[in-house]
Amino acid sequence: MQAIGKSQRRVDALDKVLGRAAYPGDLTRPDQLHMKILFAGRPHAIVKEIDTSKAAALEGVCLILTAKDVPCNEYGLQIPDQPVLCGPGSSKPYTDRVRFVGDQVAAVVAESEEIAAAACKLIEVTYEDLPPVLDPFESLQEGAFLIHPDKDSNIFQSYRLRKGDLKQGFQDADVIVEGEYHTPVQEHIFLQPEAGLAYYDEEGRVVVAAGGQWAHEEQEQIAHSLGLELDQVRVIHPAIGGAFGGREDISVQIVLGLAVLRLREKGIDRPVKIVWSREESIIGHHKRHAYHIKTRWGATRDGKLTAAEVDIVADGGAYMYTSNKVLLNAFIACTSVYDIPNIKVDARAVATNKVPGGAFRGFGGPQGTFSAESQMNKLAEELGLDPVEFRLKNVLHKGSLTSVSTSLPGIVNITDVLERCAEESFWEKRQGSWEIQEAHPEPEGFQRGVGFACGLKNIGFSAGYQENSWATVELYGSETIEEVIVRHAAAEVGQGTHTAIVQMTAEAVGVPVEKVRIISADTAETRDSGSVSASRMTFMAGNSVYGAAKAALKKWEEEERPAIATYQYLAPKTTKLDPDTGAGKPNFAYGYTAQAVELLVDPETGQIVVTRVYSTHDVGRAINPDQVRGQIEGGVVQALGYVLTEKFIQEGGYVRTDKLSTYLIPTVQDIPEVLQPVVMENPDPNGPWGALGMAEMPFISLAPAVTAALHDATGIWFDDFPLTPERVLRGLGKI
Amino acid sequence: MAHHMISLLVNGQKEKLLVPSNLTLLHVLRDMLGLTGTKNGCEAGECGACTVLLDGEPVNSCMVLAPELDGREVITVEGLAKDGQLTPLQEAFAELSAVQCGYCTPGMLMSATALLRRKPHPTQQDVQEALVGNLCRCTGYQRIIDAVMVASRTGGAE
């Protein structure tokens, strides 16, 4: 291995430290115009009338777009259930409604951003307010107000699982633990708010340059709404300032494309730029779903799980986004990594008039895992067993049947991952069983606790989707290969995928990394890579560049110059789940994770200080070890924000935390004293050089590890978070 | 809107500009001078992505009005490397994976540069205090702290 397994410097490092990397808001073109969006600003209403006459009369206003200007007024990643612009006279039924505060009603294009903003204020919209549906349980009720009147109910998606004999399972149990868990909404707070630039290129294509996670999917959605052929639209990804799932759905792309399209029809051939403010970003894009999970687990006295019953309700917000897929992940994660003979799960994602729920690192995994791992920690306590020991008695092994009645793919080394985490952190093995080590003395005024949790997360798209990714490898030179170009569309959102792809290409071709250059981020230059999500890109891109390199090398040997080959990697097939039993083979690879946390809590103030985190992951093979550790460190701190401070408040459908001063993410002073990534490398049979995906794994089980540590410190279980001082004090009965 | 004529030094270069009263330094840099290395993350002084040095002190450029700049000196991320030569701090950020998406990086570099100029051999706690106004959502911060500490041993801010 000459190119992989090394902490190669990022290919974009130089541009980023010199301030040269161009993010969407940094792009300018001569003669550009500026766009501003008029957001609904109300949770549920019918738009009766939009009067743009005053706005249009303002000097410097070039174009005002409303629903009637959208050729095909619908879009959506999973289903096209959201209007591009909400209002009357549209091409699609029920698109005259706004369903959350961030729905877009009009877009103004003007000579300056100030003029566009002023014009937005002059647009007169007449609304007929509808009752907002805010509670997902109300939304589920028969006769609830239909948020999408063309649908039969407010349920976006439901899943059902029946394995074994639940009644018998609970009869066999000596101990039964019931729990009701609520996980909160989380906002991505990528540092770069949405922005973009649209224009026509020389080939007459509508070009949209904006941050995203899947250029070819964005191209498809823009073309669909604009009524254009796919090759009439070109998507370019500039440098992207973070994503974490938050750029998986469309934000500014369609309206930007629409603006240049309609301007050209008016004889105005000028680029259009938009930059969202932080507040617009927070209101305008989806969030991690809030989940409500009611569950009951049984175990025998000697610590074997007998039954689990889980009821899941996910608050999907106004539109589908990826609620259906997020729910599938929570559905699988809600029994975590355990061999349970009898299981019943009912899961629903439902619409409400709130900011949509969608993709965010972990994608349903953290929610399902929080309930499962909290149940395990409570059962361990009830049974008087060590939480690590209790888990080891119940983990899935190679060949064991999961909740979906099939065995796990690949190497199944959950036991090894758990034991490694225990050993690295606060446990030691005495006479063959794991026990917590003697505690350090705690500082004056604090109570100390340690906690453990684990989990799994799929790698790649699930449940019957034929996972695929394209790559092209080009070899230049005469006698020897002097230059290698790899074309791959993977979105570089900060995770380092371009560097990993360059390393894997160099490895596959057998040249030093310095000879490899990546061409990416442009639908005109690359073929479809799939999304940077589901911890899939290293796995998928690695396999595709490997295939392309092999084919290119064959041509090289046959004296073709340059030797160019394109290859589509197809991942192992998966299946849909049976609608009645949930049985199926939904995934082709998983990553396993175990995390141990130590914290201090001040019982007088409710303040929590997480002091040590050991985050253990089998990554198959670390293509770039520094980047792998960087993902673990970043993922853990993001998860600490989720469990400790990040409180996203919506009241009556209105967002109350649309600023960084009211929605609090961790600062440099909020990180643990010790954050230890523990990286294991047991090659996956299908992974490129054995590599698995790993970027979501550090998020999966951290919340239940923290609440377990808090219980260890205080004796109280916290089934809701974030663990703000107020919540902690309430839990302790102090207020 | 009233306008003001101001003269200032930006990365060593004299600039004479006519600016409206309500324009911020952030927009002077990005829109008037084309220095887009300074990032806009919130325009409320809450994220630190727009940090620059004003007469050597780190400031959120979104919180400084342009008319205040007359006769003063601004250094941005574009003004750190001299003749393409990275500063030890930039070198350490690139080498130690202190950069992921990179959007917070210019602001981090400016806050850390100010720290190292003021205190060439800081403790980890000094670094955390100096960077507390700079949010990062990708890295978990430890690599950024490590990069500043390494730079303090390999030559500091210059």
In a domain, A314, yes or no: yes
- pLDDT beyond 90 at A680: yes
DSSP letter for B156, please.
Answer: T
d(CA A10, CA A20): 15
Share of chain A above pLDDT 90, in %: 98
> Residue A99: which pLDDT band, with cuts at 50, 70 and 90?
very high
In a domain, A499, yes or no: yes
Q: Does residue A637 share a domain with residue A606?
A: yes
Q: What is the mean pLDDT of residues B118-128?
A: 97
Nearest-Cα distance to chain A for B11, in Å, is 13
pLDDT at A3: 97
> Residue B156: which pLDDT band, with cuts at 50, 70 and 90?
low
Chain B environment of A18 (Cβ under 8 Å):
37, 77-78, 80-81, 86, 90
Q: Does residue A450 share a domain with residue A513?
A: no
Nearest to A528 by CA among A566, A563, A497: A566
Exposed/middle/buried for residue B4 (C-beta within 10 Å: 0-12, 13-18, 19+) = middle
In a domain, A450, yes or no: yes
Domain end position, chosen among A570, A596, A612: A570
Nearest to A383 by CA among A296, A298, A295, A293: A298
Q: Does residue A626 share a domain with residue A545?
A: no
Q: Does residue A608 share a domain with residue A565?
A: no
Q: Does residue A456 share a domain with residue A501?
A: no
Can you give the residue range of the structural domain that contains A511?
13-18+463-570
In a domain, A72, yes or no: yes
- In order of A64, A70, A677, the CA distances from A73 in angstroms are 16, 5, 46
Write the pLDDT tens digit of every residue in A537-553: 999 999 999 999 999 99
Chain B environment of A677 (Cβ under 8 Å):
none
**ipTM more than 0.95?**
yes
Question: What would you measure as the largest C-alpha separation in chain A, in angstroms?
Answer: 83
Q: Does residue A428 share a domain with residue A310?
A: yes
Q: Which of B93, B100, B103 sits opposite A630 (nearest CB)?
A: B100
> Residue A688: which pLDDT band, with cuts at 50, 70 and 90?
very high
Question: What would you measure as the largest C-alpha separation in chain B, in angstroms?
Answer: 49
Q: Does residue A638 share a domain with residue A523?
A: no
Q: Which of B76, B101, B141 sits opposite A240 (nearest CB)?
A: B101
Q: What is the CATH number of the domain that holds A468?
A: 3.30.365.10
Q: Does residue A634 share a domain with residue A623?
A: yes
Q: Does residue A449 share a domain with residue A304?
A: yes
Looking from the CA of A271 toward its CB, the CA atoms found within 13 Å total: 17
Of all helices (H) and strands (E), which one includes residue A481? strand A481-487
d(CA A279, CA B46): 12
Give chain A's mean pLDDT.
97
Q: What is the CATH number of the domain that holds A98?
A: 3.90.1170.50
Share of chain A above pLDDT 70, in %: 100
In a domain, A437, yes or no: yes
Backbone φ and ψ of A564, nearest 5°: -125, 130
| 8 Å CB contact between A209 and A260 | no
Q: What is the mean pLDDT of residues B122-138?
A: 98
d(CA A188, CA A536): 19
CATH 3.40.50.12160 at B3-78, yes or no: no
Contact assignment for B138 to A242 by CB distance below 8 Å = yes
Backbone φ and ψ of A452, nearest 5°: -135, 140
Contact assignment for A668 to B49 by CB distance below 8 Å = no
Domain end position, chosen among A515, A544, A570: A570
Q: Which of B40, B95, B104 sits opposite A25 (nearest CB)?
A: B40
Q: Does residue A644 share a domain with residue A496?
A: no
CATH 3.30.1600.10 at B88-154, yes or no: no
Quickly tell me which residue has 């290919």 as its tokens: A11
Chain B environment of A277 (Cβ under 8 Å):
42-43
pLDDT at A530: 96
The residues pairing with A33 across neighbouring beta strands, listed in sequence order, are A272
Write the pLDDT tens digit of every residue in A227-270: 999 999 999 999 999 999 999 999 999 999 999 999 999 999 99
Chain A environment of B137 (Cβ under 8 Å):
188-191, 242, 244, 634, 638, 665
In a domain, A214, yes or no: no
> Residue A91: which pLDDT band, with cuts at 50, 70 and 90?
confident
d(CA A590, CA A467): 14
Could you tell me the residue ranges of all domains in chain B? 3-78, 88-154
Amino acid identity at A588: F
Nearest to A306 by CA among A400, A178, A173: A173
Q: Does residue A599 share a domain with residue A555?
A: no
Domain end position, chosen among A522, A553, A570: A570
In a domain, A151, yes or no: no
Of how many residues is chain B composed? 158
Q: Does residue A445 share a domain with residue A300?
A: yes
| 8 Å CB contact between A227 and A70 | no
Domain count, chain A: 3
Contact assignment for B97 to A191 by CB distance below 8 Å = no
Nearest-Cα distance to chain A for B14, in Å, is 20
